[in-house]
Amino acid sequence: MAAATDYTALITSEHQAAPNFMAMVAAVSQCFVDQINVMQSIPAAFDLDTAVGVQLDAVGLWAGITRQVRAPLNVYFSLDTANLGFDQGSWQGPFDPPGGLVSLDDATFRTLIRAKIAANSWDGTIPGAAAAYANLFTTPGAFVLDSSVLDSGVLTPVSFIFIQDNQDMTMTVGISGAIPSAVLRSLLSGGYLPLRPEGVLANYVVPSVDNTSLFGFDVSNQYIAGFDFGSWAVPA
């Protein structure tokens, strides 16, 4: 980091004892020092990992997404509503409307930007879509349920994502395990990550009971399980 002393230290000993001259050089050089420091701080200020506030907003615009997202009325914290409790519902701020647009906090917005960047470079494949969706979750897992790719699980996640090609111009994006927050579910169902082929209808489902697999027959794993282990799939 630049400082005015970088320049005053260059003054020869003949003039070091002249306080007025030293002060004048320090005052003149300070404006250039400030400019240098601002320029050097720009890369970190607009780095996705460190940007905050309006700088993060600018990064989001480069990726094609904004902090303001449309969400249903049921995204705010509530003790008596399923899936809106602690770590799931968002606190309602003094200027947040009861419905409509919700302003994401920096951490959630940063996660969305990463997912949007992955979506922008999507190669059109189901595994690629699963990897992009996984960016929405802090500790994600991705699983592809398809005739050509039977298993591509990654990491040891809290929420597990799988994509099923229903072979009828529809696809199912299922999230098992921990139910995502209401805002993250809104990002999925609201189409902020349009990871589907043209003309294909996408359905987004989550388990009706937290930390369970989705109910299904002939499968028993962290994604789909039968009686006593799986729970009904409900719209995200």
Q: What is the 3-state secondary structure (H, E, C) of the chain?
A: CCCCHHHHCCCCHHHHCCHHHHHHHHHHHHHHHHHHHHHHHHHHHCCCCCCCHHHHHHHHHHHCCCCEEEECCCCECCCCCCCCCCCCCECCCCCCCCCEEEECCHHHHHHHHHHHHHHHCCCCCHHHHHHHHHCCCCCEEEEEECCCCCCCCCCCCCEEEEEEECCCCEEEEEEEECCCCHHHHHHHHCCCCCCCCCCCEEEEEEECCCCEEEECCCCCCCCEECCCCEECEEEC
Average pLDDT over residues 142-154: 42
Whether 142 has a pLDDT exceeding 70, the answer reads no
Q: From 206, 137, 154, select the one nearest 177 (Cα to Cα).
A: 206
pTM summary value: 0.66
Q: What is the pLDDT of residue 75?
A: 66
**14-18, 86-90, 120-124, 155-159, range with the lowest pLDDT:** 155-159
Whether 155 has a pLDDT exceeding 50, the answer reads no
Q: pLDDT tier at 98 (50, 70, 90 boundaries)?
A: low
Whether 113 has a pLDDT exceeding 80, the answer reads yes
| Length of the chain counted residue by residue | 236
Q: And the tokens for 51? A: 């940007």
Q: pLDDT tier at 40 (50, 70, 90 boundaries)?
A: very high
Q: What is the pLDDT of residue 141?
A: 45
Average pLDDT over residues 130-157: 53
150 or 15, higher pLDDT: 15
Whether 67 has a pLDDT exceeding 70, the answer reads yes
Q: What is the pLDDT of residue 86?
A: 77
Whether 216 has a pLDDT exceeding 80, the answer reads yes
State percent of the chain over pLDDT 70: 85
Q: What is the pLDDT of residue 74?
A: 63
Average pLDDT over residues 153-177: 78
Average pLDDT over residues 201-220: 88
Q: pLDDT tier at 133 (50, 70, 90 boundaries)?
A: confident
